[in-house]
């Protein structure tokens, strides 16, 4: 399972943070995928874990700060297609995740409307129209 943990801690406590993490060894099932220092009192940890021991190890961070942890879904591929304006790539990404048929067509219709809109305000208006169409079609 993929998780994101946000740690907020007073930077003056960094030596305690390092000592806490270095004490012992993380379980082999705990995999750190990325850690970002936001150049403030906040760090973001992206990690995979399978066991309660993994969560308990990450909970050590609470000894030197305050954490919030959430289950995460990697949506990078879809966002990359969106930023590139690539509808064909988006279809492929949806299908690679098991979506098919009318579900994919409707999702792409929304994205096409946004992509073809002349400005951001028109794109949001098109999204609201799309939502209303979906609501009335589902009734």
% of the chain with per-residue pLDDT over 90: 98
pLDDT tens digit string along 96-112?
Answer: 999 999 999 999 999 99
pLDDT tens digit string along 27-45?
Answer: 999 999 999 999 999 999 9
Give me the residue label for tokens 């590139």.
84
Q: In the numeric block, which tokens belong to residue 130?
A: 């799309």
| Residue 139 scores a pLDDT above 90 | no
Q: Is residue 7 classed as helix, strand or coil in its secondary structure?
A: strand
Average pLDDT, the chain: 96
What topology is assigned to 2-71 in CATH?
Answer: Alpha-Beta Plaits (3.30.70)
Q: Is residue 5 classed as helix, strand or coil in its secondary structure?
A: strand
Which contacts of 109-117 are long-range, i.e. CB under 8 A and separated by 24 or more positions? 111/82, 111/87, 112/87, 115/85, 115/87
Q: Maximum distance among all alpha carbons in the chain?
A: 59
What is the pLDDT, as a whole number, of residue 19? 97
Give the start-to-end residue ranges of the domains of the chain: 2-71, 76-138
């Amino acid at each position: 399972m993929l998780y994101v943990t946000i740690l907020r801690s007073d930077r003056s406590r960094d030596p305690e943070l390092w000592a806490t993490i270095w004490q012992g060894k993380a379980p082999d099932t705990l995999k750190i995928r990325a850690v970002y220092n936001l150049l403030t009192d906040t760090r973001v940890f992206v990690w995979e874990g399978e066991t309660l021991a993994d969560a308990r190890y990450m909970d050590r961070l609470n000894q030197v700060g305050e954490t919030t942890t959430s289950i995460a879904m990697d949506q990078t591929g879809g966002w990359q297609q969106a930023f590139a304006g690539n509808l064909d790539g988006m279809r492929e990404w949806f299908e690679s995740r098991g979506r098919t048929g009318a579900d994919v067509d409707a999702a792409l219709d929304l994205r096409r409307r946004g992509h073809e809109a002349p400005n951001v305000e028109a794109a949001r208006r098109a999204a609201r129209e799309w939502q209303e169409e979906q609501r009335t079609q589902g009734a």
